Amino acid sequence: MSRAAPEPVQVVKQRRDAALSALVDGLPYARFLGISFDRRGDELTGVLGFHEALIGNPELPALHGGATAAFLEVTAIVGLSWAMIWDDLERGMLDAATLTPETLPRLPKTIDFTVDYLRPGLPRDAYARARVNRSGRRYASVHVEAWQDNRARIFAQATGHFLMPPRDD
Amino acid sequence: MSDTGSDAAPEGARDATEDMAAGAKADVARRFIEQIPHAHALSMRVDQLGDGRAELSMPYDSRLVGDPRNGVIHGGAVSALLDTCGGTAVLSHPEGPAQTATISLRIDYMRAATPGQRLVARAECYHVTRSVAFVRATATDDDRGHPVATATGTFTADGGAE
């Protein structure tokens, strides 16, 4: 039985990075907050680059709870959307070369989002990763954790429920 | 009973100074909010304040959009407004603390905010213990009858009510 030759690595990377760019570029609010995403295979890490406008308590100083909540929610939505398009992308059913924020599948909508503030956010970069605990046809449940200096020392976490966009198939 | 904000008042003088103290507390809270860089970045404004209730609003801004296909504000920006409004309500409570931080915040999103319209959040701090303040809040746009989102939160209250 003959097997197709593996795709050249740059083709794989270009496809995945193009799809991720289309997804993140479609979120003006992510740009406003200074959020970018690192990708290793299918694993995404949200990066919130520190800047003064994220401060909520100038005396401590500490990140604003609202900025932290927004970072967690953006990471959850991008993580869930990424998981949603990954299979179609890899099977060639979505063409990364022509993907734009306008032609991407619709994004999931947040139903509810519960944030747990564990310690003050320090005035420096923060990171977050989302885990999709369940993703059905209509609903999804996503957990997301954020940390700064130490991966094990989480400063905020959240769980959210999302309404999945309608699918044609 | 809390002694927050009236430490300097002599015994017995409290009743006479209560209204003034409440007004001063509201002013302190208003100034406090206006000095928060993130609230400033989102152009938040304190519209009403006092007695554990706060109303804050925020203009529509295309930089806060979550989906460019419909121009709807991202849920995270609504969270930021509700969180700030909740904290402000805690600070304005007669038995509330002088400083606060969010412990937890749950937001339910009822519908998309209409693009182009100002978002208004109203929060009520309905109970304060010596360590925790409890808050509920609602966000609406021009259609006041149908909330965009509702929230419940707990906030730290060091030096709150006994």
Task: Establish if A1 belongs to a structural domain.
Answer: no
Task: Establish if A68 belongs to a structural domain.
Answer: yes
pLDDT of B19 higher than 90:
no
Name the least confident of A66-70, A110-114, B1-5. B1-5
pLDDT of A124 higher than 60:
yes
Domain of A39 in residue numbering reads as 9-163
Task: Establish if A168 belongs to a structural domain.
Answer: no
pLDDT of residue B45: 92
pLDDT of B25 higher than 80:
no
Domain count, chain B: 1
Task: Establish if A52 belongs to a structural domain.
Answer: yes
Question: Is the C-alpha dihedral spanning B74, B140, B156, A51 positive or negative?
Answer: positive
Domain count, chain A: 1
Percentage of residues of chain B with pLDDT beyond 90 = 72
Mean of pLDDT values over A74-98: 91
Band (pLDDT 50/70/90 cuts) for residue A168 is low
Task: Establish if A22 belongs to a structural domain.
Answer: yes
| Contact flag B84-A113 (C-beta cutoff 8 Å) | no
Most confident region among A164-168, B12-16, B91-95 by mean pLDDT: B91-95
pLDDT of B24 higher than 60:
yes
Please state, rounded to an integer, the average pLDDT across all residues of chain A: 93
pLDDT of residue B12: 38
- Alpha-carbon gap, residue A80 to A73, rounded angstroms: 10
Token pair recorded at residue B85: 């409004």
pLDDT of residue B67: 87
pLDDT of residue A114: 98
Band (pLDDT 50/70/90 cuts) for residue A169 is low
User: Residue A42: which CATH number?
Assistant: 3.10.129.10
Contact between A94 and A18 (Cβ < 8 Å): no
Please give the span between the terminal C-alpha atoms of chain B, in angstroms, as a whole number. Answer: 6
User: Residue B121: which CATH number?
Assistant: 3.10.129.10
- Alpha-carbon gap, residue B124 to B46, rounded angstroms: 14
Mean of pLDDT values over B16-43: 74
Q: Which of B34, B40, B72, B79 should one mutate to test binding to chain A, selecting the residue with the greatest count of A CBs within 10 A?
A: B79
Q: Please report the residues numbered 86 through 145 in chain A whose beta carbons come closer than 8 angstroms to any beta carbon of chain B.
A: 101-102, 106-107, 109-117, 120
Task: Establish if A2 belongs to a structural domain.
Answer: no
Task: Establish if B3 belongs to a structural domain.
Answer: no
Task: Establish if B161 belongs to a structural domain.
Answer: no
Domain of B84 in residue numbering reads as 14-156
pLDDT of A7 higher than 80:
yes
CA distance B62 to chain A (A): 8
Task: Establish if B6 belongs to a structural domain.
Answer: no
Task: Establish if B19 belongs to a structural domain.
Answer: yes
pLDDT of residue A167: 78
Task: Establish if A169 belongs to a structural domain.
Answer: no
Q: What ipTM was reported for this prediction?
A: 0.91
pLDDT of B26 higher than 90:
no
Task: Establish if B162 belongs to a structural domain.
Answer: no
Q: Which residues of chain B are within 8 Å of residue A117 when distances are taken between CB atoms?
A: 101-105
In chain A, the residue whose alpha carbon lies closest to the alpha carbon of B41 is A53
Mean of pLDDT values over B20-37: 72
Token pair recorded at residue B74: 């991202």
| Contact flag B69-A65 (C-beta cutoff 8 Å) | no
